[in-house]
Amino acid sequence: MRRRTTVACTLALLLFTSLAACKEKREASPVLLRVDGRTVTLSEFRQEFAKTLPPEQKLSNEEKGELERSYLVQLIDRELALVEALRRGLEVTPGEIEAAVAEHRRDYPDDAFEQMLRERGITLEQWRQDLEKSLLMEKAVRQAVYEEIVITPEEIRDYYERHRGDFDRPAQVRARQIVVGTLEDGERILAQLRQGEAFEAMARSFSLSPDSEEGGDLGFFARGEMPPEFEKVVFSIPVGKISDLVKSEYGYHLFRVEERRESIRLNLEQVREEIRGRLQAEKEELNYQEWLRTLRSKAVIEIDWSLL
């Protein structure tokens, strides 16, 4: 499933800000927010709002108040989505939770994930509970908002006609590079390349750049997307030719141009799916905001502003 930009920003923030709190704290703290019977206490709000701020950040009372009000709106939207999910009888299966857990863990090596949770003051169980809520909200949004969206061929054609300039593709080159730290290393590798060594293999073995794993492949790029000293070389040498050494703040570079693309205007068939994606994103945003407005109009929302 493709990530939804509108919801992802809200859910990603709330995912790591658990509203789980012990019974004693709930009883001791006044209720700040009620949404159709669901409550958020002032202590819960304060604790979780603090986790959204960078450490040791200094804020004026006015700045803090503005951020608190913004965060409160996000919490209201979260509670509205949860209420709607429960009304629709939606559930998250254990398999869906485990798949989501694995996806999040994949971005963290070894025990770095648990370390991240500890730094945020969240237990693994709290995080899993929040993850389940996040997946439940996503299901509600997908069912209520996204599954209703239809993109017609006429809409795609009309968008193309109104945005033709967006599909002018400038001249591009696809190049590979090898980056080393010293002039001596660069000269040695250049000599080996000129004697017939494979550029991709040398990049994997000796390049210091992250793209070394792909044989130094930089992909296609146009003018203005790379440092000027790089562009001056790659846009001037023939396809297949190895450049002289190029010095930069990163070290010493060798380039080989793999392909060239002339500047063209892409036709409708070439960009149909790109346009579909743009229109989908636009409609998702509009439909999501309209959905939230509808939920707000029907919900009983009570906020004790005197507590902030």
85, 140 Cβ separation under 8 angstroms: yes
What are 14-68's pLDDT values in tens digits?
Answer: 444 444 444 444 457 899 999 888 888 998 888 778 777 776 678 888 888 889 8
Distance CA 263, CA 269 (A): 17
Q: Residue 55 has what pLDDT?
A: 64
What are 208-243's pLDDT values in tens digits?
Answer: 999 999 999 999 999 999 999 999 999 999 999 999
SS (H, E, C) the chain: CCCCHHHHHHHHHHHCCCCCCCHHHHHHCCEEEEECCEEEEHHHHHHHHHCCCCCCCCCCHHHHHHHHHHHHHHHHHHHHHHHHHHHCCCCCCHHHHHHHHHHHHCCCCCCHHHHHHHHCCCCHHHHHHHHHHHHHHHHHHHHHCHHHCCCCHHHHHHHHHHCHHHHEECCEEEEEEEEECCHHHHHHHHHHHHCCCCHHHHHHHHCCCHHHHHCCEEEEEECCCCCHHHHHHHCCCCCCCECCCEEECCEEEEEEEEEEECCEECCHHHHHHHHHHHHHHHHHHHHHHHHHHHHHHHCCEEECHHHC
What are 279-308's pLDDT values in tens digits?
Answer: 999 999 999 999 999 999 999 999 988 887
Distance CA 20, CA 122 (A): 10
What are 76-89's pLDDT values in tens digits?
Answer: 998 899 999 989 99
- CATH 3.40.630.10 for domain 171-262, yes or no, is no
Q: Residue 14 has what pLDDT?
A: 45
What are 260-280's pLDDT values in tens digits?
Answer: 999 999 999 999 999 999 999
What are 151-196's pLDDT values in tens digits?
Answer: 999 999 999 999 998 999 899 999 999 999 999 999 999 999 999 9
Q: For residue 208, give both structure tokens.
A: 């210091």
Q: For residue 26, give both structure tokens.
A: 């709930």
The more confidently predicted of residues 125 and 56 is 125
Distance CA 103, CA 97 (A): 10
Q: Residue 123 has what pLDDT?
A: 86
Count of C-beta atoms within a 10 Å radius of residue 184:
10
CATH fold of 5-150+279-307 reads Triger factor/SurA peptide-binding fold (1.10.4030)
Q: Is the pTM of this model over 0.75?
A: no
Domains in the chain: boundaries: 5-150+279-307, 171-262
